[in-house]
């Protein structure tokens, strides 16, 4: 039923195992560890855009909290109307609630697929081992895209003496099954590798959740549902990693650590870009305000007027200025006692005409 997930996960893991096998050897524990880590990186890279949309959706949800609270308060006794108004509000702002949980929903089947593929490698008591076959017969079978040689390579791969397919609470007969591929490991040797990975995964889960909570708005953090989810992500989920760690094989713990490392870096990258976008928007608004502001000494234009009204006001101002200039010229001419003729001669005024009559 879930082969549609198992086969792609197996194919990606196979590709990275072959790539690192050329460098470190196919049976090396480092090869298999890096193959698991880069399987995580590949899947998270595919989910990068949905993650960005998730962050933007979460931020948009926080910005809409005041309006959502108003609707909840206004229609608290009418759930149908409230749901209809909520959908209308989300549609107006282009808000899609599904994008907020899509990356998480996609990662769950991926994690289950990897868990199944890695567990199927361990043929002693798991996978085809349930058919009653011996470890040697089990190892002669393939595992999805992996050949029988690849299966034996995985069973013999070890990190600091601990099989990558082993886990702390594994049954004793399962641990004894590793005798054919490098010797029977002790629980202490497995714990010395698994416990540090559990601690790193739990601490990384906590700090990733803290980085996300710190970026919430006060309104969103005050929401009771958000407060419960914050407590779960800060304390319950990291504790769940520590409690469930002994039941997970070392390969799965490597997956968990690599996933948290990617999440930590991706969060800082995406949130950093969003902060720069916000700063750019603020700078653009300030620049527009500076351009629209009146120049020193100029009369501010009433923005409430329509453009044609403002143009008419400017025309009236220019006309009044021209009339005033004409009146000033006439007054100057009267005070000067006359005007000059085109030849540069002065046109006689009233006094000049009176003197001419006397002479006559």
**pLDDT per residue of the chain (360 residues) written in tens, 0 to 9:** 677 888 888 999 999 999 999 999 988 999 999 999 999 999 888 888 877 777 777 777 766 767 777 777 777 777 778 777 777 776 776 666 555 555 666 677 878 888 888 888 875 334 434 445 555 555 556 678 888 888 888 888 999 989 998 899 988 888 887 877 778 888 999 999 999 999 999 999 888 888 877 777 676 666 677 778 778 888 888 888 889 999 999 999 999 999 998 988 888 888 888 778 778 878 888 878 777 777 666 665 554 545 555 555 555 555 555 544 445 444 444 444 444 444 444 454 555 554 554 544
Q: Say what the pTM is.
A: 0.69
In terms of Cα–Cα distance, which of 189, 155, 192 is closest to 174? 155
In terms of Cα–Cα distance, which of 97, 55, 100 is closest to 211? 55
Structure-block tokens of residue 340: 């000059």
Contact at 8 Å (CB) between 180 and 135? yes
- Whose structure tokens read 């050949």? 147
Q: Distance between CA atoms of 239 and 202, rounded to whole angstroms?
A: 7
pLDDT at 43: 87
Q: Distance between CA atoms of 35 and 16, rounded to whole angstroms?
A: 5
Structure-block tokens of residue 231: 């407590």
Cβ burial of 188 (10 Å; 0-12, 13-18, 19+) is exposed
pLDDT at 23: 92
Neighbour-count burial for 21-31, b at 16+ CB within 10 Å, e otherwise: beeeebbbbeb
Contact at 8 Å (CB) between 40 and 93? no
CA 356 to chain centre: 98
Q: Distance between CA atoms of 206 and 112, rounded to whole angstroms?
A: 22
């Amino acid at each position: 039923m879930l082969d549609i997930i198992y086969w792609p996960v197996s194919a990606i893991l196979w590709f990275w195992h072959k790539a690192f096998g050329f460098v470190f050897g196919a049976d090396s524990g480092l090869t298999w560890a890096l193959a698991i880590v880069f399987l995580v990186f590949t899947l998270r890279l595919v989910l990068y855009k949905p993650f960005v949309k998730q962050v933007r959706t979460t931020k948009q949800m926080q910005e809409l909290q005041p309006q959502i609270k108003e609707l909840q308060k206004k229609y608290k006794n009418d759930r149908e109307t409230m749901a209809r108004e909520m959908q209308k509000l989300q549609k107006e702002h282009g808000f899609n609630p599904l994008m907020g949980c899509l990356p998480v929903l996609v990662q769950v089947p991926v994690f289950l697929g990897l868990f199944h593929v890695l567990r199927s490698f361990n043929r002693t008591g798991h996978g085809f081992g349930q058919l009653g076959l011996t470890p040697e017969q089990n190892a002669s079978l393939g595992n999805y895209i992996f050949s029988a040689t690849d299966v034996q390579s995985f069973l013999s791969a070890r990190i600091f003496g601990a099989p990558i397919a082993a886990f702390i609470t594994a049954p004793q007969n399962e641990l004894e099954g590793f005798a054919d591929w490098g010797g029977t490991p002790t629980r202490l040797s497995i714990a010395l590798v698994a416990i540090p990975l559990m601690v790193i995964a739990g601490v990384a889960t906590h700090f990733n959740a803290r980085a996300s909570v710190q970026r919430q708005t006060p309104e969103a953090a005050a929401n009771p549902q958000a407060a419960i989810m914050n407590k779960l992500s800060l304390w319950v989920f990291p504790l769940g990693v520590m409690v469930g760690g002994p039941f997970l094989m070392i390969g799965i713990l490597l997956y968990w650590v690599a996933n948290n490392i990617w999440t930590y870096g991706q969060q800082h990258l995406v949130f950093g870009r969003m902060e720069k976008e916000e700063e750019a928007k603020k700078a653009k608004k300030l620049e527009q305000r500076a351009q629209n502001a009146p120049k020193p000494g100029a009369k501010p234009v009433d923005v409430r007027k329509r453009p044609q009204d403002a143009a008419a006001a400017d025309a009236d101002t220019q006309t009044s200025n021209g009339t005033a200039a004409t009146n000033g010229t006439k007054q100057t001419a009267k005070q000067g006692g006359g005007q000059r003729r085109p030849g540069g001669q002065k046109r006689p005024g009233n006094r000049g005409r009176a003197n001419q009559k006397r002479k006559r």
